[in-house]
A = this chain, B = another copy of it.
Amino acid sequence: MAYTVAVVGATGAVGTQMIKQLEESTLPIEKLRLLSSSRSAGKTLQFKGQDIVVEQTTEESFAGVDIALFSAGGSTSAKYAPYAVKAGAVVVDNTSYFRQNPDVPLVVPEVNAHALDAHNGIIACPNCSTIQMMVALEPVRQKWGLERIIVSTYQAVSGAGARAIEETKRELKEAVVDGVDPKDLKADILPAGGDKKHYSIAFNALAQIDVFTDNDYTYEEMKMTNETKKIMEDDEIKVSATCVRIPVLSAHSESVYIETKDVAPIDEVKKAIASFPGAVLEDDPSQQIYPQAVNAVGKRETFVGRIRKDLDAPKGIHMWIVSDNLLKGAAWNSVQIAETLHERNLVCPTKDLKFPLK
């Protein structure tokens, strides 16, 4: 048995990584379909040495598709994912559109694969900044409980898509080579493509990712709060985030403070993280060993270091968490969900359609 897999948003920053992750996947793939907007349709991409022509996504695109990976923005998922489910596919959606829907599991396979068992045709992949934090903190939560999380992120521009990467490279060339004053650089994308104003990122740190909500937190920050509660299945966990974009192309870093329910000895915390699937301990101050964004790029794991006691709070711990936002933060976590669905024999048409066609 082998699947027909579709990638929706195949030409984007995450879509192209999804194709690479599928090439290296254990998933039995008979056929790969690449879908996109009309703008990118007609392009040719490679999969395992074969040319595949990108097709425009339509309501009829999903006939015969077993697994559809979506990463083309929330409005595309909102419109087409229900058609994919109706056609018998299982959808793994990398956008935020369905994440808080109670009928949709929100899954980091190392943390809550069991949630897949109750799927209704759509599984949501969490936000990049949430996923890596979950991989690092779940082993701590399992042993000592989690009371609260305060996180400040150092996020890469690739989370805002391929055009944000190009914008950043152009700005840096203008600032470093052409001598343009960083505050005079022009920007069209960051901090959020859909917002009113745009700011340059070269030699800057932008304390805005996505647009602001009514409570003066950004959507990115509220995603970290709400998704953590859903994935860890605990509405009582306190989570407040400050999400910041920095001039890094790929791999997010996070400065995370937690308070555990029970006192957690640091040596045991390190052991628990080191032995957790998907997590790699990189923590030896005497040898200057700690996670670095440039070393995480291209890797599937989440790297954790700088683990140390708070100087005052007996149950407080600080750590530094780094992972490739395009891989574990998006493409790999989505493909890993597909692999897990296959392993659990959960790739099958959904009869009770919960998601109305629009």
Question: Using a CB–CB distance below 8 Å, which chain A residues touch chain B?
Answer: 148, 150, 152, 154, 169, 172-173, 176-177, 182-183, 191, 195-197, 199-200, 202-208, 212, 215-217, 225, 238-240, 242, 244, 246-250, 253, 255, 257, 285-288, 290-295, 297, 305-313, 316, 318, 320
Most B-side CB within 10 Å, residue of A203, A308, A312? A203
Given contacts A207-B253, A311-B225, A311-B239, contact A244 B154 (CB under 8 A): yes
Bound Cα distance from A251 to B103, whole angstroms: 46
Bound Cα distance from A125 to B186, whole angstroms: 37
B182, B215, B246: the one within 8 Å of A294 (CB): B182
Contact A305 B203 (CB under 8 A): no
Contact B244 A285 (CB under 8 A): no
19 more contacts with CB within 8 A, not counting A182-B249, A205-B292, A207-B290, are A148-B312, A152-B242, A172-B172, A172-B176, A176-B177, A182-B297, A183-B297, A191-B288, A199-B288, A205-B248, A205-B293, A212-B285, A212-B288, A216-B285, A216-B308, A238-B311, A240-B310, A242-B320, A246-B248
Contact B253 A205 (CB under 8 A): yes
Contact B288 A196 (CB under 8 A): yes
Q: Which residue of B lies closest to A154 (CB)?
A: B205
Residues of B within 8 Å of A152, CB to CB, are 152, 242, 255
Bound Cα distance from A205 to B202, whole angstroms: 14
Q: Which residue of B lies closest to A316 (CB)?
A: B240
Bound Cα distance from A204 to B310, whole angstroms: 25
In the complex, 16 of the A-B residue pairs with CB atoms within 8 angstroms, ordered by the A residue number, are: A148-B312, A150-B257, A150-B310, A172-B176, A173-B177, A176-B177, A177-B177, A199-B288, A203-B247, A205-B248, A205-B292, A207-B320, A225-B311, A242-B306, A255-B255, A257-B257
Bound Cα distance from A132 to B60, whole angstroms: 58
Bound Cα distance from A182 to B295, whole angstroms: 9
Residues of B within 8 Å of A253, CB to CB, are 205, 207, 244
Given contacts A306-B242, A310-B240, contact A183 B255 (CB under 8 A): no
Contact B306 A216 (CB under 8 A): yes
Bound Cα distance from A312 to B306, whole angstroms: 26
Contact B247 A313 (CB under 8 A): no
Bound Cα distance from A179 to B205, whole angstroms: 23
Q: Which residue of B lies closest to A171 (CB)?
A: B176
How far apart are A213's CB and chain B's nearest CB, in angstroms?
Answer: 9
Residues of B within 8 Å of A295, CB to CB, are 183
Given contacts A205-B248, A207-B305, A244-B154, contact A311 B217 (CB under 8 A): yes
Contact A204 B172 (CB under 8 A): no
Contact A176 B169 (CB under 8 A): yes
Bound Cα distance from A307 to B191, whole angstroms: 18
How far apart are A207's CB and chain B's nearest CB, in angstroms?
Answer: 5
Bound Cα distance from A277 to B197, whole angstroms: 29
Contact B248 A203 (CB under 8 A): yes
Bound Cα distance from A346 to B33, whole angstroms: 78
Residues of B within 8 Å of A287, CB to CB, are 197
Q: Which 9 A-B pairs have the closest CB atoms?
A: A152-B255, A238-B312, A152-B152, A212-B285, A216-B308, A183-B294, A242-B255, A182-B294, A205-B253
Bound Cα distance from A107 to B305, whole angstroms: 34
B205, B212, B306, B313: the one within 8 Å of A246 (CB): B205
